[in-house]
Structure 1
C-alpha cells in the first residue's frame, strides 16, 4: 500500500478463499407470506384509481386550453398594430396547477411545424443578456453551454457576413425566415417571479422586433391583472395587446380529484381524519395537485403493505391461498370481537364456536360478510352524494363542499348533524316545481329497492297536476303562513283580527306527497348513514391512520433534532444515557443532566441551550472538557481526543444552523436559534 498512499482511493483485495455466504430464506413466512399477492392487489387498485384521477385532470381546464390554442391559431392581429399579442392566463390561487396547462399546450404546439414554443423561467433569466441568450438557444435548438456569458460571440447560425453576438435577435430573425416560422410563443409561466425592469425591457424589445419576428407572449398570473399592470411602466403596457384566459380555481380542481379518488367502486376507503388532514394540507400550502395524488398513493401503500389482512380484498380468493396466521390475526381484530359479542347476545353460540375453532368456517363467513359490508360502504358514499345534490338544488346557504359532506359521512356524524336537519326542514317547504327537480336528480341515485316508491311520488304529482287547471305550482301547508292578519275599519276605528288562511284541497294533497318524500329520505338516511368503524372487518377495507402520513408529508425535523440532542436515550435506547431528563424516582424532569456517556454533539447542544446570545468558544471548550472527562484529570492524549470531539460537535452545530461566526468578537460565536422558538 506504500505506492498508493498518495491516491484518493484504492481497492482492497482480500487474500485467500472467500468464506461461504450464508443461505437466506427465500420465501417469507407468517403474516408476510401474503406479500406478493397483496402487492399485486395494490397495483391493481392504485392503477384503477390513478386512471380515474388522470381522466379528471385531462378534462380540467380543457376549455381554457382550447381557447389558448384557438388564440394561437387565429394569428392575433396585435402585430399589425405594432403591438405585442399577449395571452394573460389568470390562475389565482391555483398557480401551482396551471403548469399542466402550459405543459399540455406545449405538446399541442409541438405538432405545428410553423410554431416555436419557448418556456422561460425566472431562475435562468436573471438579466437581459442571459434572457436573450436562453431565448435564442431554445428557439434554434442549439447548445446552451455559452449561456453563462463566457463567450459573447458565436457564429451567426451559419450565416454569411459578420459574426453576430449570441444574444442578438437578428439570429432569431434569420432563423424564423429560413425555416418559415409563423409564430414564436414565449411563455412566462410565473410572471411574478421575474424582475420588473427585466420584464419591461423584454416587452419593449419584443415590440421593436414584432415586424420581423412573430412574437406571441403568454403570461401566467397568480395575483391579478391590475397588479401586473401596476408593476410595468406605461411604455411597456402600451406595447401589449392582451386577451384574458381564466383557469379552473384550485378548490374546484381539488374537489374534482377528490370525487375521482373517492369513487363508489373502490376497494379501499379512507377515513375522515386522513381525508381532512390531506385536504387541509393541500388548501394551506400552494402545492400542485401532484402532491395530493402522491399523498393518496402513500396512504394506499401504507394500508396494503402494512396490513396483511388486505389479502381478503382479492378477487377470486380461495381458502388455500390464505395462510393460517391470517386467520389468527382476524380473530384478534377489534371489530371481530365486537361482532362475536353481538352474535352471542343474539343466541348464535354455535356460529361463534365454529368461527373461533374452524378456519374454513371463518373464511367463508368473512368473505360473505366483507361483500355485504363493502356494499354498505358504497351505499354510505352514495347517500352523501344524494345529500350534496339536494343541498345544491335547493341552494341552501352556507354552501357545503362535496368533500366536507363525504368526510362527515365517513366520520359517522352526518346523520345527527345540523346540516341534515336544515335540509330535511327545507324539503318540507319546497313547492311542486322544486320537488319535481329534486326527484329527477335523486331518483337515479337511490337503491333499486326504493326506486319504485320514488316513481310512485312522481306519478302522484303528475296526476295531481292534470286535475288542476290553474297551472300554478303547488305549495305545502308548511310553506304558507299559519295566521292571516285582517284590517277592518268601522266608525273611524281600525280593528285588527287574525284568522287561519284557507287551505286548498290541491295544496293539502300535495302536502301529503311532500311528507311521503320526506319520510322516504329520512328512512333511507337513518338506515344508510352509519359509522364505518362499527362494520365487521372494517380494518380490512377502511384506513384512517394519520400518523404515517403526517410524518412523511408534514415532518417536524427541528423538533426531532431538538429531542434527539436533548434526550439521546429516546433514539439510542441505551441504559448509559437513560438518566437524561429523569429524576431519581424515574419521573420526567425538565432539567437535563449532562453525562460523559452522552454523544459529544448532545453535550455541546446542552451547553448551547444554557448559553446566551454570544458564546465564548474558550469557555465552551472548558465546560465541554469538564463534562466529557467527568471531572477527572486527563492526560495529553485524552485531552487531544476531547478537543477533536469538541471541534466536530461545534462543526455539526454550525452545519445544523444553530450557531454562526460573528464579527463583534473573534473568539465568540453567535446563537441563531433558541429551543422551542
Structure 2
C-alpha cells in the first residue's frame, strides 16, 4: 500500500500554554490526549546555546582545521537571521571540514610532522605551497629583513622547504595556545562589552592587542578606572584562569613552568600591595583612589571677563593614592604581556589549516529560491532537456511551456500587469496564426494554468487597486 504524504513529511508544532499540565489535560478530550507526546525542557536563549557550541566545537576543539573569521561570521549571521537550529550549524561545520579535506590537496600537510614523509609529501605539494599567498608574503618579508639566504632556500631547495613545513605543526599549536590564553584572560576581566563570538572573530581577523583603541580589546580605560576592591577581584579572577584555565575553551591554563610561576608571584605581590594600601587608608580614614578614577577629577569654576568657565583639574593625591596608581599601571603592563596574538592571516602557511571560503557554503546552506525559479523559468531546457525548449536558447518562443512564456512576459512588464494584455501577448505566440497553431480554448486553459503556477510560486498576486490587473511581488 502506497504511503500518503503525511507519513513522509515530519513536522513539529511548538507552542506555549499559560496553565498547568493538569488543567491543560483536563480540557482535552481523552482521544486527543492519547495522540499527544509531551516533553519538559528548559528554555535557553539561542545565542547562549550557539556560543557554547562554538566554544566546544570551533574554538576549543583539538581538530587541526580552523574555521576562518569570514565564514564563521556568515554562519553565525545565518543562525540569527533564519532562526535555524543548532543542527544546521553543526551540519555547516561538517560541510566545511569535508570541503577542506576533499577539495584542498594541501590538507595532507596537516599530518603530524613525524609522519609527513616522502609517501605523503609529493613535489606537487611543494609547488602548490609556493603558490600560497602566505608563502609569498613570508618570502617578501624575508627579503625586506635582509634574510636573503632564507628566502632563496625556500624558493629553490625542496628539502629546506620540507623542514619548514614540518616545523609549522609546533608553531600552529603555539599560536592556538596563545590565542586561547588571551581570550580566557580577556573574558576573566569581565570588562569586554562584546560577546565571545565577536571577540573570537576579531582575534582571528585583526589579532589581539590591548593597545588598540578603539577596538574590541580596548580594556585599558576600564581596568585603570577600577576601585581597589575591583582591582583585587580582577587579580583573583585572572590568577584563577592562569592556574585552572577555562574549561569552556578546553584551555588548561599556563601549566607548570617558570612563566606560570612568575605570573602567579607577580599577581600575588600586586594583590598584597593593594590590600596593604587599603588597610593604610582605613587607618588614616581616607578613601583610596587613583589618578584615573572619577574621584580624582574635580570641577573648577573660573570667572574671566564676567564669563564663567568650567574646567576639570586633578585633585591632590596622597602617598597611598600614588602607590595605588602605580599598582594599576604595573598590573596592566604585566597583563599586556600575557594577552596578545597576531591575525591568523599573517601566519606562514595558514591556508593549510584555515578554511574561510564562502561560496561553497552559500551555495548549499543559503537558499536562493528566487534565482533558482528564475533560472528554471527563463531556461527550462537546462532541466527538461527537450528539443522544443532547446531551440529557444534563453529567448521567448512559442514552444516553451506556458509558465515559462508568462515569466518572460512578466519580466518585461511593469509593477502592475493587465491580465487581458498578458493574454493577448501570450496568444500571439501560441495562437492559430502562429507557428504553434493552438486553438483559443486550449491556449486559454494553458494560460490560466501558467498564471496559477506563477501565483503559487509567489511571483504575482491579485491587485487591490484594479480588479483586472495583477501585481508583481518582490522575490529573494
- Structure 2 length as normaliser, TM-score? 0.70
1:396-434: CA deviation from partner (whole Å, max 9, x where unpaired): 6xx421111111212216543535565211211223332
> For structure 2, which runs of at least 5 residues remain unmatched after alignment?
246-252, 302-311, 463-467
* Distance (Å, rounded) in 2 between the aligned partners of 1:625 and 1:561: 26
1:570: Cα distance to partner? Answer: 10
Matches within 5 A, 1:82-481: 190-192=14-16, 203-204=26-27, 246-261=42-57, 262-263=59-60, 265-315=62-112, 316-320=114-118, 321-390=120-189, 392=190, 394=191, 399-412=193-206, 415=209, 416=212, 418-420=214-216, 422-443=218-239, 444=242, 450-451=259-260, 452-453=262-263, 455-463=265-273, 465-466=275-276, 469-470=279-280, 472=282, 474-479=288-293, 481=295
1:574-630: CA deviation from partner (whole Å, max 9, x where unpaired): xx99996xxxxxxxxxxxx6468989875553134346352565751432479xxxx
1:419-469: CA deviation from partner (whole Å, max 9, x where unpaired): 556521121122333223222322315756653145224224315645874
1:474: Cα distance to partner? Answer: 4.9
Q: Which has the larger radius of gyration?
A: 1
* Distance (Å, rounded) in 2 between the aligned partners of 1:662 and 1:535: 55
* Distance (Å, rounded) in 2 between the aligned partners of 1:463 and 1:558: 66
Contact kept? 1:331, 1:337, Cα under 8 Å: yes
Inter-CA distance 548–421: structure 2 relative to 1 (3 Å threshold): closer
1:530 corresponds, among 339, 342, 347, to: 342
* Distance (Å, rounded) in 2 between the aligned partners of 1:521 and 1:661: 62
Inter-CA distance 483–562: structure 2 relative to 1 (3 Å threshold): closer
Contact kept? 1:457, 1:513, Cα under 8 Å: no
* Distance (Å, rounded) in 1 between the aligned partners of 2:162 and 2:381: 45
Contact kept? 2:220, 2:332, Cα under 8 Å: yes
1:337-382: CA deviation from partner (whole Å, max 9, x where unpaired): 1111112222333333332233322221122134314422432243
* Distance (Å, rounded) in 2 between the aligned partners of 1:562 and 1:290: 30
Contact kept? 1:476, 1:508, Cα under 8 Å: yes
Contact kept? 2:66, 2:355, Cα under 8 Å: yes
Contact kept? 2:107, 2:353, Cα under 8 Å: yes
* Distance (Å, rounded) in 2 between the aligned partners of 1:376 and 1:661: 55
Inter-CA distance 431–302: structure 2 relative to 1 (3 Å threshold): same
Contact kept? 2:67, 2:356, Cα under 8 Å: yes
Contact kept? 1:427, 1:518, Cα under 8 Å: yes
Inter-CA distance 252–381: structure 2 relative to 1 (3 Å threshold): same
Matched residue SS, 2:292: helix
Matching residue of 1:614: 419
- Supply the RMSD in Å over aligned alpha carbons: 4.8
Matching residue of 1:162: none
Inter-CA distance 625–529: structure 2 relative to 1 (3 Å threshold): farther
Matched residue SS, 1:418: coil
Higher relative contact order (CA 8 A, sep 6+): 2
* Distance (Å, rounded) in 2 between the aligned partners of 1:293 and 1:408: 22
Matched residue SS, 1:477: coil
* Distance (Å, rounded) in 2 between the aligned partners of 1:568 and 1:381: 52
Q: How many residues align?
A: 413
Q: Are 1:542 and 2:393 an aligned pair?
A: no
1:532: Cα distance to partner? Answer: 1.2
1:67-101: CA deviation from partner (whole Å, max 9, x where unpaired): xxxxxxxxxxxxxxxxxxxxxxxxxxxxxxxxxxx
* Distance (Å, rounded) in 2 between the aligned partners of 1:389 and 1:328: 44
> For structure 1, which runs of at least 5 residues remain unmatched after alignment?
1-122, 125-143, 145-187, 221-244, 488-497, 581-592, 664-668
* Distance (Å, rounded) in 1 between the aligned partners of 2:459 and 2:13: 37
Matching residue of 1:238: none
